[in-house]
Amino acid sequence: MDNITIEALVNAGVHFGHPTSKWHPNFKPYIAMKKNGIHIIDLEQTQRQLEKASKEITKLVRDNGTILFVGTKKQAKDVIQLAADRCGMFYVVERWLGGTLTNFSTIKKSIKRLLLLEKESSEIYTNLTKKEMGLLERERIKLGDLHRGIKDMKYLPSAIFFVDGMNESTAIKEATRLGIPTFGIVDSNTDPTPIDFPIPANDDSLKSIHFVVNYIADVIIEGRGGVVESKSEISVNELESIRTELLSDKSADKGLDSIESAPPEPVQAEKPDADTTKDAEKTE
């Protein structure tokens, strides 16, 4: 796996943290400086933590381990799903169901019900009224949305990888309780101490999320003996496609209306206008 460069991290906007008023004190070791009321993340630490995480993930997948990708925030959903599909891993991009890990036996029953509903020839559809058929169809759609990324997950994952430690706190707690290693992107407003392999990075920028998540996907592919066709650099066309999908949702963040590249040097950087709602908030 190619080493991550500081320049690549800067170009992806990984270094932008939250406003200084919203920081978590335990994040202090990963902060390089304050700039215009915003914490700037130490990219050397990001680089070091990415390399540490990639080595551990490589060990897991070489032992036939599985990684569960978790990203339920708008900026992360499409990126997580595409990356997980690309590296052949499981994912959760809709609401995290409490007990997905700690009560996995119940989740498996729900998945079994979904598989039954998806079989058109199933006996469950025999001699039903139109109303009853409609109720079953709504149930199938609901379960399909909730379980589409874990439908084939027969066992608990070897590790989870998440985007935004605050947003996915329930998943992290469940994994920790079961002794499942946790990897993920944590921003300056998040406590990194409960996480086994925290990756300090901007967890609200589409470009930053895309960069880190696809780097991890590349690590998994290579760890399983595959060949990565394209590395984790941002593809303009792919990024624009993801942005368009997000903007098509009426509830998508207004801050996604324009996506700009981050400035070349973090010391001189001004917060971009644009990648996400967080970026717009920080410039107020």
pTM here is 0.77
Q: Give the pLDDT confidence score for residue 21 in this predicted structure.
A: 93
Amino acid (one-letter) located at 209: I
Cα 25 to Cα 158: distance, rounded to the nearest angstrom: 30
Cα 247 to Cα 145: distance, rounded to the nearest angstrom: 20
Cα 239 to Cα 245: distance, rounded to the nearest angstrom: 10
- Assigned CATH for 6-97+156-282: 3.40.50.10490
Please determine, for residue 272, whether its predicted confidence score (pLDDT) is greater than 70.
no
Give the tens place of pLDDT for each residue, 173-194: 999 999 999 999 999 999 999 9
Give the tens place of pLDDT for each residue, 15-51: 999 999 999 999 999 999 999 999 999 999 999 999 9
**Domain range annotation of the chain:** 6-97+156-282, 104-147
Amino acid (one-letter) located at 145: D
Cα 6 to Cα 9: distance, rounded to the nearest angstrom: 5
Please determine, for residue 167, whether its predicted confidence score (pLDDT) is greater than 50.
yes
